[in-house]
Structure 1
């Protein structure tokens, strides 16, 4: 693994080796997710919210062909006849099973052929002279794109019926010890976003100074036990805790608990990748919508943090005045820092990963669960779409809320202190949780 400083200092051959390793590592994960089930399962749509797994597989190959084989490499197209089939903007997910998609064998052959061509052109591609290839950006973009679809496929696995198809070791269960409920983040300016991270995507750029007033932030994400208290207190049936839009959605969707929770007498069970088990109270709550997170925060007398507050808590080092790449520093995530990359198939207990602690004292700001923020997905000052408008620009506006920090299903390549995710506030199939913030009362610090 290379830090951003290392990546910018690597010679061309070392950079190519790094790219090849990342492409191979990512493809192994894609294979794991698709080889775990049979062909019937691959072509089935497990939820209208998701594509068939075989669509995601061929789609990552199609994007790799478009950007690397054709654009970067200037090579002849492999399958121009399927471009429209795998254009995510042309076909809503619910409609994709009716398309003449490549079957499992064809899809595997296609992505394999594309990858062979990419490895061939990688040895010839200059890593300078064009913005798309500076520091191998296009290759890094494709790595991140495939890893993002791998997380989407992992969410599809969570939605599928049937016996478990995936296995992983449980996360560390070490007790967190006595932690404060909240940490204090002093007000002041900090550097938000990045202009130097080699593989950062357009919505993370450019770096700019933002002033954030002092605030308190929960030390850890909200746990299942804490969220169960909200349920027991009638939180799902009290309109006063919900925004107008949130209450409409709660009623329309008949929400009573996080998705995949099941009532069993006086206890809650959950379904997790084919297993039915008692809800572990110590884990961060997951599979809640923005509206549920917002309602819990109101019930608790708090609010959701803004995106700027979240990033300041995660990155700002008051000792140096600079913003780190990650809460723990500038080095890439290691297993002791965060729960990432499908290494485990569930969040670790709230308070885990002390070595990943931020300067403010907050934990698990990276990994375990995506965290809803109060902010709409908007461009930074000086934003420039690159390399195409459809990655970020078409989603800007009040319809999408920002999530930060990544989940246990997010790969390290697609997760950093500046990385921005976004989704509709009703989404519950994603691996999303939250933590709360609050504004200090008078004379409190």
Structure 2
């Protein structure tokens, strides 16, 4: 790929991310930007300046070797130094200062992108650092969208409805045959360290759901006493729902004989045909046990999403190697909700599994661990410090994820108690 093509790709990714950041931070007033809407999340103004600070540190200082613009704020916007609950008490830049700072950094970055060679070391080869920063900004955009979902008050965002879906004619589950496949990647130029390196895995045959578990299916679990029967719950999960009185997905409530949910400032009936959203790993695991099934392993999820049984190779995406398009996956905040189960037939895998990319992050049964041969790059704090049984892997992205930060190899992770994230799941079973 030529430098001109790489520069265009990087420019497009950075521009798309910044347009989304601007939308998420201008649709509410400055008071809302500085408010902490949940102790689980930062004030939106922190995310805004943090985005600029990371861009400055990596693209202006590390890549271009330029002097720091505002070195005194580095520690304020260090995500590892200050937990989210503490960030409102920090000496944060005001909304106006944050916008000016992020804009100043971006202007200088575009100059670097125009002039700096995109080869000569792993940080710049194929424009990696620019892709890393575009992904970082989009990940914070998703985080800010979560904050918008948690905030109280009238709707501040709007988007068209996703396309319709149908499960008519779709099997409930798909058989994935026994055999080897290639997991991870060694060739995707902007893949992050935890996606690397590519390695071979051999899996026994298994069945996996053709679509994510729907709200209707999850309501059956609730109606059958799923939240009151200890048999289905991991011990820590049972303790969690008892202590906090959890009896349904986050943002759901029962009123007048029907389930309602709050979605970005709007209260509406829970749509039965959509994938269930805002459930923890414990809830997903309990549902799977109740249904006589289990959560897929991370390897099972990736094989279902990438393996082509005809050629034997692993694709970039379920549909092939082409980048995501609106007819293949619900990504990029194009819609503010998952599409109904069975949508996006053009995005199906070779075996006919639907909606593996976009709509909802899917919990897997796997702990977040390094692949064989893992090497931290360009810093340990991106992945390595999170490895271990405390975090569970999610796959596939959600409607809130931009395509630049979503691949068939992309790995997300979180604590099993997390419910505010845009998480759902599908189930599997042994043959």
TM-score range, shorter chain: over 0.9
Residue 340, structure 1, aligned to residue 331, structure 2: yes
Which residue number in structure 1 is paired with residue 270 of structure 2? Answer: 279
Which residue number in structure 2 is paired with residue 207 of structure 1? Answer: 198
Which residue number in structure 2 is paired with residue 415 of structure 1? Answer: 406
| DSSP-derived class of the 2:352 partner | coil
Residue 395, structure 1, aligned to residue 386, structure 2: yes
8 Å CA contact 2:233, 2:286 repeated in 1: yes
1:309-345 CA-partner distances (Å, limit 9, x unpaired): 0000000000000000000000000000000000000
Pairwise CA distance, 1:349? 0.3
Structure 1 residue ranges without an equivalent (≥5): 1-8, 441-445
Find 2:396's aligned residue among 379, 383, 405.
405
Find 2:259's aligned residue among 248, 257, 268.
268
Which residue number in structure 2 is paired with residue 4 of structure 1? Answer: none
Find 1:60's aligned residue among 51, 56, 60.
51
Which residue number in structure 2 is paired with residue 3 of structure 1? Answer: none
1:69-99 CA-partner distances (Å, limit 9, x unpaired): 1110111111101000000000000000011
Query: Equivalent residues in 2 for 1:38-437 (5 A)?
Result: 38-437=29-428
| DSSP-derived class of the 1:123 partner | helix
Q: Distance in 2 between matches of 1:265 and 1:213?
A: 47
Pairwise CA distance, 1:13? 2.2
Pairwise CA distance, 1:382? 0.1
Q: TM-score, normalised by structure 1?
A: 0.96
Q: Distance in 1 between matches of 2:81 and 2:243?
A: 28
Q: Distance in 1 between matches of 2:4 and 2:164?
A: 41
| DSSP-derived class of the 1:28 partner | helix
8 Å CA contact 2:165, 2:341 repeated in 1: no
1:277-331 CA-partner distances (Å, limit 9, x unpaired): 0000000000000000000000000000000000000000000000000000000
Q: Distance in 1 between matches of 2:81 and 2:55?
A: 18
Pairwise CA distance, 1:434? 0.2
Pairwise CA distance, 1:174? 4.2
8 Å CA contact 2:175, 2:208 repeated in 1: yes
Q: Distance in 2 between matches of 1:437 and 1:14?
A: 41
Residue 23, structure 1, aligned to residue 14, structure 2: yes
8 Å CA contact 2:165, 2:344 repeated in 1: no
Pairwise CA distance, 1:360? 1.5
Pairwise CA distance, 1:18? 1.9
Q: Distance in 1 between matches of 2:212 and 2:369?
A: 24
Q: Distance in 2 between matches of 1:399 and 1:373?
A: 13
1:210-234 CA-partner distances (Å, limit 9, x unpaired): 1111000010000000000000000
Q: Distance in 2 between matches of 1:427 and 1:15?
A: 37
Q: Distance in 1 between matches of 2:332 and 2:47?
A: 18
Q: Distance in 1 between matches of 2:241 and 2:181?
A: 37
Pairwise CA distance, 1:16? 1.3
1:344-376 CA-partner distances (Å, limit 9, x unpaired): 000000110000001121100000000000000
Q: Distance in 2 between matches of 1:264 and 1:272?
A: 16
